[in-house]
Amino acid sequence: MEPADKKKRSLVNLFSFLTTCLFLFLAVQFSDGVSGAVSNFATKINKITDSLDKAVLGLSTDVNYTDYNAKTDYLSVNTSFETKGMAGLYNITTLFIKAVMPKDILMQGLVTVDKNKQIHLTYDYADLMWYYQTLVALLVFLALCVVLFPLFFLFFCCCRCCCGNCGARSQPADKKKDLCKKLCQGTVLIVLATGLLFGVVCAFVSNEQMQEGIRDFPNNMNNSIQDTGKYLNHTSGEINHLLVDNYNEFSDALFGVLDNASVAVTSQLEEYSNATAMLQLLDFAHNLTNVQTTLEDLKTSSNRLRVYASQLNDALRKVKKDLTTTLQDCKLDPCNAVRNNVSLLQTNIDFNKYVDRYFPRLPDLSDSITSIEGLGIEDIQTAAENGNENLNNVKKQIADSLKTGIGSAKSQITKSGQDIKTKMNDVTDMINEFQTSLTSTTKEPLEKANDYIAKYGMYRYYAGLTVACVLLLVTVCIALGLICGICGKRPDGFSDNCCNKGAGSQFLICAVVIMFIFGFVISVMTLVSVVVGIVSDKAVCSTFKNPSGSNIMQVLDDLVEFDSFKVSFSSMLKNCHSNQSVYTTFNLKDKFNIAEVRSQFNISEQLSEFNLNKSMFDNFKILDEGNMRIMDNLKNFQTPNLDKFTDELSAKFTNYNLNQLSDKIQEVIDTMKKTQDPGYEDTIRNLQLSQLHLSTYNEKILDPMRNLATQVMTNATELDSMLKMGSDSFNDAVNDLLDKIVKAQDYLLNHGADSLINITDNFKGTIITLVDGYMDRVEYQITNEVGTCGPLSAVINSTLTSTCDKILLPWNGFWFSMFWSILLYIVTIVVAIKLATLYQKYKPYGHGYVETEYLYDAYADSIPLNSRAGKRGKKKGKKSKRYEERHPPNAGHGAVARGSHPVDGRYDDMAPKPGIGRIFQTVGPLTTKEHPLNTRGPHHIIIQDQGANNKPKNHRQDV
């Protein structure tokens, strides 16, 4: 590169460097100015955004309201119903009721209520019968049972006593199919007896559960009434806490803010205008006397430190000289160590030297004291008080301007609080009146119910128990009849067993008689119980358990009108079961309208009465020219360099610890004593004397000197902080304060009125926020929390449990058990009579049985062998039949079926001979045409005798 180019290149680089430096300098200057402006602007913005909090002097707009924590123990929550194994019965009963009864017990349009609360019935018989057809069918069936049970019992008695049928008499031997009949009918009767046993168990248990429910009913109702009273008391307590305790908390907070309104507004105005600098200046002016006193104390303490330093220096030189002389001839090792330490012993103090008189190490405070005495402290304090008085006059005018509005706001809040208490007192009075009415109206009925239950409850229980015992007796008779009939022997005329089949027949007949006799009673009880049970279940229990869509509930809504509040019965139940508040449940808008209460707490109009005097800032000055000149004299104060006290006095005063040196000397003494050399006695005494001197110097000189130095450093630090007032130096602090005061009075003079209006508006917003916060709490608590209806819902459910579950459900189970038994009785009576007839026969089929059926044979002999004998036989047969009724044949003689023609009497005395048998063979009867006078027709019996040679001999006998 050419030299010219190098030179040109160097000039360009130099120009670039200088340009860069210039731009950097301008950027730094500009950034300083902009950063200062931005900082001041940000500070102003922060002050404005914090105005709301500062307006209430640190008080949060969210008042810490206390909650109502009273605990109430309710008894209804413990009410429950144990089915004790009867859940199946109750479920079946419920399904049966649903089957025979419409879903809604009240037909649509059957009952209407007009505007005058008059009930009208509108119905058509056909529609009514069609709507309740299943229930009517059930009642008709039970009514027929009531009529037919006695009637058929009469028929049964006539059939048995007069005609000898229905199990009164029976043929002596089984027919061909009787065994199959006994098996089938016995099986059916076992099934029926099992069903009856189910009814017996259900009757006993349901009757017992019904008795328990009736016995516990008064106590359960008392618990429900007590819980209702507890709920009402708890609700009143919540209302009182909200409108008394919480209102007092709100009013205390609000009135505290209102009472400090002027202080809050003026404090905020001072923050806006930086007028707080006047307060700092006033504090410093009052502290000038303390500054002067502190300077004088520091000067005195500095002189004392110099005296202590001189004394300590002389003392250490003496100790050093004495120890050097004493240990110069000692050859022991500890002596050498002490000599080395003593040679280094000296002070580290510079402010006691001779040169300190001309170049003092500690600050000389004489000039500062002289300077502060020449400032005129009293004049400065008077000027500062005058400036503060000017600010106080502004505060007083602001307080006077706000006083009227604050008083009106307090009066409005107090009046609104009284109004809201009055309105809620109406609600609490209504609650108390309802509680008193509930107690008075339920006390006497419950007492009467308790008396009736105590007097007559057992009769109902014993009536139910009697019915259950009758059902049990029927079942027992049937069971005994089946046991004897199945397991017992056939009846024997001479040696009957007590548990033979004949006894089984009698047990079955007894069961039939009991069923006929008590079937009427059970049918009547079932008919009455069905009507009461089904109607109560559908009209009361189902309606209150499921109020929505119930026609009865709609009629109640139209019929029942509460005087105190406008709410339908169904919506009240629905809201209560949804755990809504008492305000929502009972629709208390007419008694206590939240919107009206909120409007009463609107104090915007009262707050607008803040009449601010804008002219208070005309020609306003904090410090006039004379007072400002007096304050300028503070700049002439010569502040000392107080940091030197800390620098000089924080160092150690000696280079070796005197206590440690004393310990080293003690080691030398101990070593000399161990040598037991008499030549060391003087040395030991001198060393002990040096120890005493060290201890004395440490206690009398060094320790006080240290304490005084600490006090001096503390005072110097406090004084330095007092003088600098947060600035780098005293002069900077004074200049800054005076500059702020000048700017503050300019701000108040030009913008004070507008700022005061803005601050007052912010303060109004804070007050309104407090009021709205309390009203929001009142509205939320009343509409959602106060008097939540959960406990009352539990009371309603407990009442339904006490009545519907504990009484009505067993009631329905009991009549269903009776109805079940009635159904089984109808079949059981028929089967039992037939089976009793079969059990009376004492000969099985095929054992000498004579068929009673007429055997007509077209090819039989049509010529009668002995017509006269037939006639005689007919008459004799009647006599024999009467005799047979009086003396039934036994197992060992003539096997002639009861009701057939007996064998001629001459054969009655013929006993069977050993080895000789007799076989009866029936030959076809003569026709009716051949014997017109003998409608039954004679039988031709061939008697085949077997003689001793076992050869049959035939004989023909007409019967």
Mean pLDDT to the nearest integer, 473-496? 76
Residues of the chain with pLDDT > 90: what percent?
A: 10
pLDDT grade for 949, boundaries at 50, 70 and 90: very low
Q: Assess whether pLDDT exceeds 80 at residue 818.
A: yes
More confident residue, 44 or 659: 659
First to last CA, the chain: 175
Pick from 13-17, 31-35, 76-80 the range whose average pLDDT is largest: 76-80
Q: Assess whether pLDDT exceeds 60 at residue 455.
A: yes
Contact present, 634 and 380 (Cβ < 8 Å):
yes
Q: What was the pLDDT predicted at 497? A: 59
Q: What was the pLDDT predicted at 894? A: 38
DSSP-assigned beta bridge partners for residue 173:
843
Say how far apart CA 641 and CA 564 lie, in whole Å: 86
Q: What is the DSSP letter of 65?
A: P
Say how far apart CA 79 and CA 168 lie, in whole Å: 57
Q: What was the pLDDT predicted at 930? A: 39
- Name the token pair of 857: 């044979």
Pick from 270-274, 386-390, 702-706, 838-842 the range whose average pLDDT is largest: 702-706
Q: Assess whether pLDDT exceeds 60 at residue 861.
A: no
Give CA angle at 544 (543, 550), nearest 5°: 30
Residue entry with tokens 């150690």 = 652
The region of weakest confidence among 72-76, 92-96, 824-828 is 72-76
More confident residue, 341 or 615: 341
Listed residue (561, 718, 729) closest to 115, CA to CA: 561
Say how far apart CA 572 and CA 584 lie, in whole Å: 9
More confident residue, 882 or 344: 344
More confident residue, 714 or 115: 714
Pick from 169-178, 427-436, 916-925 the range whose average pLDDT is largest: 427-436
Q: Quick one: how many helices (H) and strands (E) in the chain?
A: 28, 5
Predicted TM-score (pTM) of the model is 0.61
Q: What was the pLDDT predicted at 786? A: 86
The region of weakest confidence among 93-102, 276-285, 561-570, 675-684 is 561-570
pLDDT grade for 26, boundaries at 50, 70 and 90: very low
Q: Assess whether pLDDT exceeds 70 at residue 375.
A: yes
Mean pLDDT to the nearest integer, 920-943? 40
Q: Assess whether pLDDT exceeds 90 at residue 812.
A: yes
More confident residue, 479 or 915: 479
Pick from 608-612, 808-812, 889-893 the range whose average pLDDT is largest: 808-812
Q: Assess whether pLDDT exceeds 80 at residue 194.
A: yes
Average pLDDT score over the chain: 73
Classify burial at 202, counting beta carbons within 10 Å of its beta carbon; exposed 0-12, middle 13-18, buried 19 or more: buried
The region of weakest confidence among 271-285, 378-392, 781-795, 837-851 is 837-851
Residue positions counted in the chain: 959
Coil/strand/helix, residue 940: strand
Q: What was the pLDDT predicted at 845? A: 52
Q: What was the pLDDT predicted at 879? A: 42
Q: Assess whether pLDDT exceeds 50 at residue 16.
A: no
Q: What was the pLDDT predicted at 192? A: 92
pLDDT grade for 853, boundaries at 50, 70 and 90: very low
Q: What was the pLDDT predicted at 274? A: 61
Say how far apart CA 734 and CA 739 lie, in whole Å: 8
Classify burial at 487, counting beta carbons within 10 Å of its beta carbon; exposed 0-12, middle 13-18, buried 19 or more: exposed
Q: What was the pLDDT predicted at 172? A: 60
Q: Assess whether pLDDT exceeds 50 at residue 374.
A: yes
More confident residue, 285 or 931: 285
Contact present, 380 and 292 (Cβ < 8 Å):
no
Q: What was the pLDDT predicted at 886? A: 42
Q: Which residues lie below 8 Å from residue 879, measured CB to CB, with a gap of 6+?
A: none
Q: Assess whether pLDDT exceeds 60 at residue 596.
A: yes
pLDDT grade for 112, boundaries at 50, 70 and 90: confident
Q: What was the pLDDT predicted at 92? A: 93
Residues of the chain with pLDDT > 70: what percent?
A: 71
Q: Assess whether pLDDT exceeds 50 at residue 705.
A: yes
Q: Assess whether pLDDT exceeds 60 at residue 796.
A: yes
Q: What was the pLDDT predicted at 588? A: 76
131-186 tens-digit pLDDT: 888 989 999 999 999 999 888 888 877 776 666 566 555 556 556 666 777 788 88
HEC sequence for 637-706: CCCCCCHHHHHHHCCCCECCCHHHHHHHHHHHHHHHHHHCCHHHHHHHHHHHHHHHHHHHHHHHHHHHHH
Contact present, 756 and 269 (Cβ < 8 Å):
yes
Contact present, 544 and 800 (Cβ < 8 Å):
yes
Q: Assess whether pLDDT exceeds 80 at residue 699.
A: yes
Where b means 16+ CB within 10 Å and e means fewer, 679-704 reads ebeebeeebeebbebbeebbeebbee
Q: What was the pLDDT predicted at 384? A: 78
Q: Assess whether pLDDT exceeds 70 at residue 356.
A: no
Q: Which residues lie below 8 Å from residue 749, measured CB to CB, with a gap of 6+?
A: 617, 618, 619, 620, 621
Q: Assess whether pLDDT exceeds 50 at residue 490.
A: yes
199-248 tens-digit pLDDT: 999 999 999 999 998 888 888 888 888 888 888 888 888 888 888 888 88
39-93 tens-digit pLDDT: 333 333 233 334 333 333 344 456 888 888 888 888 887 778 888 888 889 999 9
Contact present, 89 and 195 (Cβ < 8 Å):
no
Q: What was the pLDDT predicted at 859? A: 41
CA distance to 20, 701, 874, per residue, from 653 (Å): 55, 11, 166
Q: Assess whether pLDDT exceeds 80 at residue 304.
A: yes
Mean pLDDT to the nearest integer, 833-846? 68
Sign of CA dihedral 11, 13, 16, 17: negative
Residue entry with tokens 């014993």 = 462
Q: What is the DSSP string of 144-209?
A: HHHHHHHHHHHHHHHHHHTSSTTTTS--SB--TTHHHHHHHHHHHHHHHHHHHHHHHHHHHHHHHH
